[in-house]
Amino acid sequence: MSGDERSRLLGAAVDDALADALGEVAASVRGGRVADYIPELADADPDGFGVSIASVLGRVYGAGDVAAEFTIQSASKPFVYAFASDELGGEAVHRRVGVEPSGEPFNAISLDAQGRPENPFINAGAIVTTSLVPAADADERFARIRDALSRFAGRELDLDDEVYRSEAVTGHRNRALAGLALAVGSLATADVDSATDPYFRQCSLVVTTEDLALMGATLANGGVHPLTRDRVVSERAARDTLSVMATCGMYDRSGAWAFRVGMPAKSGVGGGIVAVRPGEFGVGVYSPPLDEAGNSLRGVAMLEALSDRFGLHMFDHTRVPTSPVGEASVDRETRTVTLALRGELDFLAAEQAVHDAGRLVLHVDARALRLDFTDVTLITAVAEQLLRTTAAAAEEAGLDVEFPGAPQGFDRGIG
Ligand code: GLN
């Protein structure tokens, strides 16, 4: 078999499907404006366009300019937020920054009723989040942030020094936002620069669509990088981050985004967008021209196309739930109902199992119930609770109950 034939068998179909969607968006979506508040961003190639997808199993696909380098800008915010939440716990973070969509542009001067920036993804909130990263000074703070973002990407990320210098020279509004946060007691550092300087530098880290896809996949995978297997943040920090991305990731377009695309996401003025299908994929797109909200125009269109074509919207329910019950059988002679459970038992699976067991027991007026756990690979706490309660109910109704292979302690209160 030729190398080409092998690669076609090994998933080139996915690259082809991405290339199809990219080609269509490139042909039909034009316009937007490349960010020009600093010269380095204004120089970006307006025709640069790429997409990458990384699965939680570590497979990476792409089409277009997947190797083009650009600064991460605001797409850094969810990862710094995840890092700060992981270090300090969500509660400490949210004493200083809220979790409400602001409905305002990214650089708005906005504080909620408690005097906190409304969320960690508008600039005011992002600067507060950066200030929360424990460090002795600005240099150490940035070093820690860079290290965390590099672990999310699975490789060392470089700083674009020229972009950083320009951001710092022109960043009066961001310094003003930090000053306001300091005045209301929201900023965690004693001075403005210890927060804004690492913030300007985090925005100036250089990434590709592949990096964004893998960073997103790490969040999709509960905080563990799919390739390096590094646990970058806790499961809870990853979940919190996805929650805020789902509600506040696209600034004042977050509602339309949730409606049309339905994936937790975050954009940056460098033209990048990172999006996540929790438990499945991270997606990175790049196209510099922006819409009026500061989100990549073609990037948004590309993610909308992917959401539709690949069924990635979080409220899409096209998946057929697999039955958790390997075999439900009845021995007519002994009036025994056996439920052979298998695979991963979560709430949904246990709900089905409990329902099936109850229905069969009543239908045949059973004398015995066997819940066979032998082929179960994983069971969540709630699933175990539902099955235990059902077993106890059967016992109380006078049935003989057996549960071979049940998790340790399952028999508490039964038999
Ligand atoms: N560096 C930019 C700023 O802070 C990032 C903004 C963005 O990407 N939306 O203004």
Return all residues near 79 (Cβ < 8 A) that are at least 6 apart: 148, 149, 152, 215, 241
Phi and psi dihedrals of 130, rounded to 5?
A: -60, -40
- The closest residue, in CA terms, to atom 6 on ligand 1 is 74
Catalytic residue among 25, 29, 55, 77: 77
pLDDT tens for 53-89 read 999 989 899 999 999 999 999 999 999 999 999 999 9
Catalytic residue among 61, 81, 164, 251: 251
Residue with tokens 């302690």: 409
Q: Is the CB of 73 under 6 A from ligand 1?
A: yes
- How many angstroms is it from 282 CA to the middle of ligand 1? 22
Nearest ligand 1 atom, CA 123:
4
Q: Is the CB of 202 under 6 A from ligand 1?
A: no
**pLDDT at 274 > cutoff 70:** yes
Average pLDDT of the segment spanning 98-118: 86
Do 289 and 31 touch, CB atoms closer than 8 A? Answer: yes
Distances (CA, A) of 24 to 16, 20, 28, 291, 406: 12, 6, 6, 19, 52
pLDDT tens for 307-334 read 988 888 988 865 555 555 567 889 999 9
Q: pTM of the full predicted structure?
A: 0.86
Catalytic residue among 29, 52, 61, 74: 74
pLDDT tens for 343-396 read 888 877 887 888 888 888 999 999 999 999 999 998 988 889 888 988 998 999
In which order are the strands placed within the sheet that holds 400-402? 325-331, 336-345, 368-379, 400-402
- The closest residue, in CA terms, to atom 2 on ligand 1 is 73
Q: Is the CB of 174 under 6 A from ligand 1?
A: yes
Nearest ligand 1 atom, CA 106:
9
Nearest ligand 1 atom, CA 203:
1
**pLDDT at 224 > cutoff 90:** yes
Nearest ligand 1 atom, CA 251:
9
Nearest ligand 1 atom, CA 173:
10
**pLDDT at 213 > cutoff 90:** yes
Q: Is the CB of 121 under 6 A from ligand 1?
A: no
- How many angstroms is it from 236 CA to the middle of ligand 1? 27
pLDDT of residue 109: 86
Catalytic residue among 34, 163, 224, 269: 269
Fold topology of 325-402: Transcription Regulator spoIIAA (3.30.750)
Say what percent of the chain tops pLDDT 90: 72
Q: Is the CB of 71 under 6 A from ligand 1?
A: no
State yes or no: is 37 an active-site residue: no
Dihedral-angle region of residue 405 (phi above 0 means left; psi in -120 to 50 means alpha; beta otherwise): left
Looking at domain 11-310, its CATH superfamily turns out to be DD-peptidase/beta-lactamase superfamily (3.40.710.10)
Average pLDDT of the segment spanning 211-219: 98
Nearest ligand 1 atom, CA 200:
1
**pLDDT at 301 > cutoff 80:** yes
Q: Is the CB of 160 under 6 A from ligand 1?
A: no
State yes or no: is 74 an active-site residue: yes
Q: Label residue 374 exposed, middle or buried (CB < 10 Å: 0-12, 13-18, 19+).
A: exposed
Cα 284–286–291 angle (5° rounding)? Answer: 115
Q: Is the CB of 268 under 6 A from ligand 1?
A: yes
Q: Which of 165, 203, 266 to mutate to test the pocket of ligand 1 (most atoms within 8 A of CB)?
A: 203
State yes or no: is 233 an active-site residue: no
pLDDT tens for 144-178 read 999 999 999 999 999 999 999 999 999 999 999 99
According to CATH, where is 3.30.750.24 located in the chain? 325-402
According to CATH, where is 3.40.710.10 located in the chain? 11-310
What is the three-state SS of the chain?
Answer: CCHHHHHHHHHHHHHHHHHHHHHHHHHHCCCCECCCCCHHHHCCCCCCCEEEEEECCCCEEEEECCCCCEECHHHHHHHHHHHHHHHHCHHHHHCCCCCCCCCCCCCCCCCCCCCCCCCCCCHHHHHHHHHHCCCCCHHHHHHHHHHHHHHHHCCCCCECHHHHHHHHHHCHHHHHHHHHHHHCCCCCCCCCHHHHHHHHHHHCEEECHHHHHHHHHHHHCCCECCCCCCECCCHHHHHHHHHHHHHHCCHHHHHHHHHHCCCCEEECCCCEEEEEECCCEEEEEECCCECCCCCEHHHHHHHHHHHHHHCCCCCCCCCCCCCCEEEEEEECCCCEEEEEEEEEECHHHHHHHHHHHHHHHHHHCCCEEEEEEEEEEEECHHHHHHHHHHHHHHHHCCCEEECCCCCCCCCCCCC
